[in-house]
Chain A
Amino acid sequence: MKKLIASFMLLAMLCGLSAPAFAEEAVAITEAVSAVADVAAEVAAPAEAVVEAVAPVPNKGDTTWMLLSTLLVILMIVPGLSLFYGGLVRAKNMLSVLSQVFAIFALISILWVIYGYTLAFGDGGGFNWMIGDLSKLFLAGVTPDSTAATFTDGVVIPELSFVAFQLTFAAITTALIIGGFAERIKFSALLVFSALWFTLSYLPIAHMVWATGGYLFEMGALDFAGGTVVHINAGIAALVGAIVIGKRIGYGKEPMAPHNLPMTMIGASLLWVGWFGFNAGSNLEATGGAALALLNTIVATGAAALSWMFAEWMLRGKPSMLGIASGAIAGLVVVTPAAGLVGPMGAIMLGLIVGPICLWAVSGLKRSLGYDDSLDVFGIHAVGGIIGAIGTGIFVSPALGGVGVADYTMMGQVMTQATGVLITVVWSGVVAYVCFKLVDLTIGLRVSEEAEREGLDTSTHGERAYNM
């Protein structure tokens, strides 16, 4: 009971942080009202100006694409990620993983509309390099008529569709982390950690990379669909979690083979399908750019599934289904920052590179460092994400078939990309460490040894996955 109260207090503290915002909001609204009055006065004068100043209206095709993409990303999370992860754990922990992903999705979607959206995409004034403001707390002022900008001047989409689309990104990023410490985390601790990490790491990083005025955005760091914001961010948090929480009981001694690889295959497939919404949806418009991102999301994934498979076949003697599926996920991760920026041949190159490197990361690197990242979130998402971030800087080059960016030099762009990676690694690492420690001191991160041996399904959730 004490622990429950402690977790509520932590949540309450989080909400408390947002209290002073109401005052700011009131000021902002007053300013806005006077601004509107000024505009009205100006508009009243020349009649032609009215025609030019008319607000752009969302295109129905773009709107449809954004709504559809949002649904696809939800498909990635529940059920995609749930099943991918679920199949990889032992049967006694199946439901715990499904519950964790499901509950995090539910939790983050609520937090996102309460304060997440405004902090990620608002204008933070003096702190705008790092974080937004609270002007749209509880989605204040966001109506079916309000619009969000796209990458094309004068083309807008309904702001609510942008809010929903970005919600799914925040949710999947937070849910990805659980793979690092699956099979041993305390459920209440996970929920509190998720709320804290989402607030202190996801929101600032998303703002820095994607919002106008954000530090990395202004610096020119390229991250088309979230290689840095989503995958490096989550991968590092998962690694820190795996280390802080410690290894599973019996790790390296008892067999911990996946209990149901067909489910992992189903999950990986749903992730792939959903990823078209994730990557091609990040184009924000239903255009050729979206088509490029979609095609890249097919071929990079195919290339990585093959390169992982062949590497495993050569080095270990057998091409495994889990290897093909893991390679596919690594390919999806690597092409995420690059999706709309590189050409299809560049995407294939990224896929070919990422497979063997991630295979090494989940075997050689993991063994030599000795951490127990249960489902290889670090080895696939952080390592794949870093290769993607750097690779985007290379393959965006028009000489290599990429779409190019203004004032492009390969060295310069790679340095910018590396800066983005570094900031994210340090930021997410430090925030995750502090959040894990905070939760550990208040609630405790880990279930009891007895509960862990029994399995989290019965000990935490009071049910079992398979009654046969």
Chain B
Amino acid sequence: MKMVTAIIKPFKLDEVREALSAIGVQGITVTEVKGFGRQKGHTELYRGAEYVVDFLPKIKLEAAIQADQLERVLEVIEKAAQTGKIGDGKIFVQSLEQVVRIRTGEVGPEAL
């Protein structure tokens, strides 16, 4: 099993969710996050006070998947989240040791 974490542009969330559903991913968890990468921040000006905003709002999306789904998942996230401009985000993949479905107590791939 694999844990896929993707940092994407907020307005791309719907497209990514639809694409993942279409290839059979059963569920995802989404968090609003802030961070910085190569994309530059912006400057805000309130009367005389200038603030450089380094941390930009992004969406962090997490999906636990079967190992054999990985290639497809990476492909559709990349395709759906891409604008071609700097700041499109990144995808991180980790091995997932265990999964438990709380309602039934199922463990492993069956709990996904």
Q: Which residues of A contact B (CB under 8 A)?
A: 255-258, 316, 318, 320, 322-323, 326, 359, 362-364, 366-367, 376, 379
Contact = CB atoms under 8 A, between A and B. Distances in A.
B84 interface: no
Interface stretch (B1-9, B25-33, B41-49, B85-93): B41-49
Contact of A326 (B44, B47, B51, B53): B47
Contact of B48 (A258, A318, A364): A364
A415 to B, nearest CB: 32
Nearest to B49: A256
A376 B48 CA distance: 10
Contacts of B45: 316, 318, 320
A320 B49 CA distance: 13
Contacts of B47: 322-323, 326, 359, 362-363, 376, 379
A366 B50 CA distance: 13
Contacts of A366: 48
Contacts of B44: 257
A256 B50 CA distance: 10
A362 B51 contact: no
A58 to B, nearest CB: 44
Interface of B: 44-49, 51, 53
Q: Which of B45, B47, B51 gathers most chain A CB within 10 Å?
A: B47
A316 B47 CA distance: 10
A322 B48 CA distance: 11
Contacts of A255: 51, 53
A367 B48 contact: yes
Nearest to B48: A363
Nearest to B53: A255
Given A322-B46, A376-B48, 12 more contacts: A255-B53, A256-B49, A257-B44, A257-B46, A257-B51, A316-B45, A318-B45, A320-B45, A320-B46, A322-B47, A363-B47, A376-B47
A163 B86 CA distance: 64
B41 to A, nearest CB: 12
Contacts of B51: 255, 257
B81 to A, nearest CB: 28
Nearest to B51: A255
A363 B47 CA distance: 6
Nearest to B52: A255
Q: Which of A255, A256, A322, A359 gathers most chain B CB within 10 Å?
A: A255
What 8 pairs between A and B have smallest CB-CB spacing?
Answer: A363-B48, A362-B47, A255-B51, A362-B48, A366-B48, A257-B46, A316-B45, A257-B51
A51 B32 CA distance: 80
A374 to B, nearest CB: 10
Contacts of A316: 45
B24 to A, nearest CB: 35
A320 B45 CA distance: 8
A367 B45 CA distance: 14
Contacts of A362: 47-48
Contacts of B53: 255
A367 B44 CA distance: 17
A56 B100 CA distance: 89
A330 to B, nearest CB: 11
A364 B47 CA distance: 10
A359 B46 CA distance: 11
11 contacts: A255-B53, A257-B49, A320-B46, A322-B46, A322-B47, A326-B47, A359-B47, A363-B47, A363-B48, A364-B48, A376-B47
A389 B104 CA distance: 78
A326 B46 CA distance: 10
B40 to A, nearest CB: 16
Contacts of A363: 47-48
Contacts of A364: 48
Nearest to A360: B48
A366 B46 CA distance: 13
A362 B47 CA distance: 7
Nearest to A316: B45
